[in-house]
Structure 1
């Protein structure tokens, strides 16, 4: 049995490794040609373009690995079927259940690789890529668009009830370093009572990175307060309400429940966040009555994404039971590859459909995997029984 295991594992792993290497080389070349257009601008050098392409490989590997696993498994099993190796193994006692178990071990191993890449390597590489590109941008820091990114929290003030705090971050300079920050404080009746604008902010966690709180060290602060609780904003200006505006060229500390992880999560796209970061950020959004469905869908999608490897090897297993003498082997392999690519496309589209039609997040993330796994197992059972 060890000999059979080594034979199948060696064949599948070598073919999968060759396919992922070919895909990585292709995408590295495409990214490098695209990055060459920016060489020479804003002191962007050739070595910087190479480093950018290397950082991009993390996200490419995460997206392409299931497809490479499918193609490599199909090629390996189809070759064994074509040379009658798999037929000899079946004659020697390799039953369908044992064959499914052997490929299941490969699927679980591939799923563990996906968990590591998706939760550690991809978030790190995407964060490094964003900061690396920000150094050569015409605008200092990572530009978050015209509106920036918005955060919200509730704070209990003794004698005044709960105050709502809205924070706008305009740019990110590095991990925990942000620029063009505006903070708006509203009282329990929804009236604006304070506005803080800072050119640069460093967010420091209280305790550890997951602590429920942080201190914002702000520089070049403009602190504006409205002393009248009856009139705010333009009404206060028109009717003569007293406004206190104080410019602080030095630092100012502001305590908040927004941790550096929450702020960083709001800056980067949800696709680049780890599962734990997505869970914490969705809890923060739900607590502050903000729309969290997009991040919930991404959380469940990333949770179920390692199971895609199980679906891929399940889709490849029926090809071991096909016979080259029946004809059309190349067409069957091509059909299997297209089936796997269709699964990846549907898996990506389902999250957008779930967000559009307000589906349950876990259902939108798990439905494609469940459907294709059922189809692959049905095809496997039919081939074993009737072929």
Structure 2
């Protein structure tokens, strides 16, 4: 017997006609077709169930991710001033990113659990008997997905990037005293008698907008060097488009140089620690970084892939949610929650591997980065269409 879902006094002939043989509508029952109030209540019930199951799945993922990441990160405790409390704080700052990356899989598992639970208790059968089509069920799941999209955007572009950048700054400052500060305007390094500000650095080891402030023995600013760019060649840094100003007592002497060798404590290893990784940037910042690299004639593939992945995640989340409906309706009622979680996890793992693998294909074969976002969506859209067609939903 189906669980009682919505109430509206449907004891009339229409309500009884819609019931399954031997099924009692009861005081709180599913509505016959055409009862808009009852349909809205069914929608609310589905939305609440999907949201609850998805949030519980995300909570489980957050706990597992925290424990595994903590076990990996705790090995760095003791380096410099980096202690256990710092490790716990830094790992906590990574949780929003873990959740953001797990949203498509979590929504699929959550929807399978919610809709599968309804199938096991006969609620989906009762809904179908009440006149709800699979498209109406998908519509209710889609509405839950729209609410989840707000959480996706909030996590991926508002809370997550800033929080993890803050955590990584704490980690960097505790482990390496030479890097004193990092912000959206770059990072600052104490280099012997100089203070260095590097506005931008790419994963390939190129620098942009380097400012070097050299301090004399009397703590007075003696020289200011600005370089439009720089790269690491044969174990040394070479600055490009250099403008150097000597500050005297009563005058400033400036000189421009096409290139300048730069002796510094900054090396590629330190740069990789201080560098803000593309996946830690919000979409708008990734776009800005891409444009800056393009203007400088540099490749921006890593940033473009991260940007399109950011845009694809909300759409992929909706696709995963909608995929759960035909999967549940085409399955057997005897399938338990554990089996549904396994199905969701396997499909999610397949999606993750395909997405990551195709990212490398894009880099190796120099394909348009936008294909990273489109390829997984096309694959799952095709799979869903085939499933709907095969089951004639």
TM-score normalised per structure 2: 0.67
Q: Return the offset for 1:377.
A: 3.2
Whether the 8 Å CA contact 2:93–2:167 is kept in 1: the answer is yes
Does the alignment pair 1:130 with 2:140? no
Unpaired runs of 5+ residues, structure 2, are: 1-38, 200-208, 216-221, 227-242, 255-270
- What are the residue-to-residue correspondences of 1:262-301 with 2, within 5 Å? 267-301=275-309
Contact between 1:301 and 1:366, CA under 8 Å: does it hold in 2? no
Instruction: Give the alignment partner of residue 200 of structure 1, picking from 196, 200, 208.
Output: 196
TM-score, length of structure 1 as denominator length:
0.68
Q: 1:249 to 1:309 in 2, by over 3 A?
A: farther
CA RMSD of aligned residues (A): 3.6
* Number of residue-to-residue matches in the alignment: 304
Q: What does residue range 362-377 of structure 1 map to in structure 2 within 5 Å?
A: 362-377=370-385
SS at match of 2:175: coil
CA contact (8 A) 1:351 1:365 kept: no
Shift, 1:357, TM fit = 0.7
Q: Which residue of 2 is the match for residue 32 of structure 1?
A: 70
Q: Name whichever of 325-334 and 272-281 sits farther off.
A: 325-334
Aligned partner of residue 360 in structure 1, secondary structure: coil
Partner of 1:218: 213
Cα gap change, 1:66/1:327 in structure 2, threshold over 3 Å: closer, same or farther? closer
- Which whole-Å deviations, capped at 9, do the CAs of 1:5-26 have from their partners, x for residues lacking one? 1221222122111111111111
Q: Are 2:211 and 2:225, in contact at CA under 8 Å, matched by a contact in 1?
A: no
* Residue-by-residue CA offset, 1:121-171 (whole Å, 9 max, x unaligned): 2220221022110121144228xxxxxxxxxxxxxxxxxxxxxxxxxxxxx
Structure 2 Cα separation of the partners of residues 336 and 177 of structure 1? 41
Matched, 1:310 2:310: no
1:2 aligned to 15, 40, 56, which one? 40
Q: CA deviation at 1:52?
A: 1.2
Distance 1:363 1:280 in 2: 20
Rate the CA distance shift 1:361–1:268 in 2: closer, same or farther, 3 A: same
Contact 2:79 2:175 survives alignment (8 Å): no
- Cα distance in 2 for partners of 1:293, 1:119 equals 20
Quote the offset at 1:202 in angstroms. 8.5
> Relative to structure 1, is the Cα distance of residues 284 and 272 closer, same or farther in structure 2, using a 3 angstrom cutoff?
same
Aligned-pair CA distance for 1:366:
1.0
Match of 2:116 in 1: 78
Rounded to whole Å, the distance in 2 between the matches of 1:318 and 1:38 is 46
Report the Cα offset of residue 321 of structure 1.
Answer: 0.9
Residue 330 (structure 2) aligns with: 322
Cα offset for 1:340? 2.4
**In 2 relative to 1, CA 30–249 (structure 1 residues): closer, same or farther, beyond 3 Å?**
farther
**Structure 1 range deviating more: 83-92 or 11-20:** 11-20
Q: Per the alignment, in what secondary structure is the counterpart of residue 362 of structure 2?
A: helix
In structure 2, the residue matched to 1:54 is 92
Query: Once the two structures are superposed, what CA deviation does each residue of 1:93-117 show, in whole Å capped at 9, x if it has no partner?
Result: 2112211111111222222322222
The SS at the match of 2:213 is: strand
